[in-house]
C-alpha cells in the first residue's frame, strides 16, 4: 500500500516552535552509552567515541523535557541559595527567617521569632557574612564535637578518632578517613538538630565500618531510626545552606 504522509503546509514552522534547542558540550570516551549531565546551566553529553553527531543531537532532542525541568530546578535553587544581606532570607532550622542588621558594639546573632538578627558595628554584607560564619563555627564546635566523641565512646571506638575537623567544603557534609580523621561541614549548623545528629552518627559509624554496606546502614539505623527521611530532607534543602 502506498501511503503518502500528509504534512501541514506550515510544517517547518511547527517543527521549529515545538523544538527548543539547547547548547551543549560533548565529551567522548570509551563508555558504551550516552548520558546527560547538567550543572550550573552547563549541559554535558557523555558518549562513546563512535557516536555520530546525529546520534548525539537525537539524544539531546529526545531528552528536551528532562533538560527543561532540570534547568528550571536549577534556577529555583539558585534563587533560594543563601545570601547573607539585610532583608534577605535565611533557611534556619527548617524555618525561613528574615535577616536584620542591628547596630551595636558587641557582635552577636539573635534569633527572635522569624527574625535572624545580626548585631555588629557598621555592618555591611561582607562583615555580616563573616559574623554568621564565626557564629556557625562556634556552634559547631560546641555541639558537634562533644556529641561525636560521646557517640564514639558509647560505641567503643573513641580511640580510633585521630582528629575532628570543622570545615566548609564544597559539597560534602562529612567525611571520615581510615586513619580516623573526621570532618564535618559547619554549615550543617543551619539545619535542624535531628539532621545534625544524623550527620554525626553517619561519620562515627564509619569508625566501625568504612563502607556503606547493609551492616553499616543497620548500625546507623540503630542510632538514628529516621535516617532515610533525613537523607531525603538534606537532598531537598541543602542548596539553601551554602553561602
Ligand atoms: Zn558515608
Domains of the chain by residue range: 11-79, 130-240
Instruction: Kindly give the distance from the C-alpha atom of residue 175 to the centroid of ligand 1, in angstroms, as a whole number.
Output: 7
pLDDT score of 19: 52
Instruction: Kindly give the distance from the C-alpha atom of residue 202 to the centroid of ligand 1, in angstroms, as a whole number.
Output: 6
Instruction: Kindly give the distance from the C-alpha atom of residue 76 to the centroid of ligand 1, in angstroms, as a whole number.
Output: 28
Q: Is the pLDDT of residue 146 over 90?
A: yes
Instruction: Average the pLDDT over each of 17-26, 149-158, 229-238 and give the range with the smallest value.
Output: 17-26
Instruction: Kindly give the distance from the C-alpha atom of residue 151 to the centroid of ligand 1, in angstroms, as a whole number.
Output: 16
Instruction: Kindly give the distance from the C-alpha atom of residue 44 to the centroid of ligand 1, in angstroms, as a whole number.
Output: 28
pLDDT in tens, 20-67: 667 899 999 999 999 999 988 889 999 999 999 999 999 999 999 999
Give the SS3 label for residue 169: coil
Element (H, E) at 110: strand 108-112
Q: Is the CATH number of domain 130-240 1.10.1060.10? A: no
Query: Distance between CA atoms of 243 and 239, rounded to whole angstroms?
Result: 9
Average per-residue pLDDT for the chain: 90
Grid coordinates representing 50 are 563512535
Instruction: Kindly give the distance from the C-alpha atom of residue 178 to the centroid of ligand 1, in angstroms, as a whole number.
Output: 12
Instruction: Kindly give the distance from the C-alpha atom of residue 128 to the centroid of ligand 1, in angstroms, as a whole number.
Output: 33
Query: Distance between CA atoms of 73 and 78, rounded to whole angstroms?
Result: 9
Amino acid at each position: 500500500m502506498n501511503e503518502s504522509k500528509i504534512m501541514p503546509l506550515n510544517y517547518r514552522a511547527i517543527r521549529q516552535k515545538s523544538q527548543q534547542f539547547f547548547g551543549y558540550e560533548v565529551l567522548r570516551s570509551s563508555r558504551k552509552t550516552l548520558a546527560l549531565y547538567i550543572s550550573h546551566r552547563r549541559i554535558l553529553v557523555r558518549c562513546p567515541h563512535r557516536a555520530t553527531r546525529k546520534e548525539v543531537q537525537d539524544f539531546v532532542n529526545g531528552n528536551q523535557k528532562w533538560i527543561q525541568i532540570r534547568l528550571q530546578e536549577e534556577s529555583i535553587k539558585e534563587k533560594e541559595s543563601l545570601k547573607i544581606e539585610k532583608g534577605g532570607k535565611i533557611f534556619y532550622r527548617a524555618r525561613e527567617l528574615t535577616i536584620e542588621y542591628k547596630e551595636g558594639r558587641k557582635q552577636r546573632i539573635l534569633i527572635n521569632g522569624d527574625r535572624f538578627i545580626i548585631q555588629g558595628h557598621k555592618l555591611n554584607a561582607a562583615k555580616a557574612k563573616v559574623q554568621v560564619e564565626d557564629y556557625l563555627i562556634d556552634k559547631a564546635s560546641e555541639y558537634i564535637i562533644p556529641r561525636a566523641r560521646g557517640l564514639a565512646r558509647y560505641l567503643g571506638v573513641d580511640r580510633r578518632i585521630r582528629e575532628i575537623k570543622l570545615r566548609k567544603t564544597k559539597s560534602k557534609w562529612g567525611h571520615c578517613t581510615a586513619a580516623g580523621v573526621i570532618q564535618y561541614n559547619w554549615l550543617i549548623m543551619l539545619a535542624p538538630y535531628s539532621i545534625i545528629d544524623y550527620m554525626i552518627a553517619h561519620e562515627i559509624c564509619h569508625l566501625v565500618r568504612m563502607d556503606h554496606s547493609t551492616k553499616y546502614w543497620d548500625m546507623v539505623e540503630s542510632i538514628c531510626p529516621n535516617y532515610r527521611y533525613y537523607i531525603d530532607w538534606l537532598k531537598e534543602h541543602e542548596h539553601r545552606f551554602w553561602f
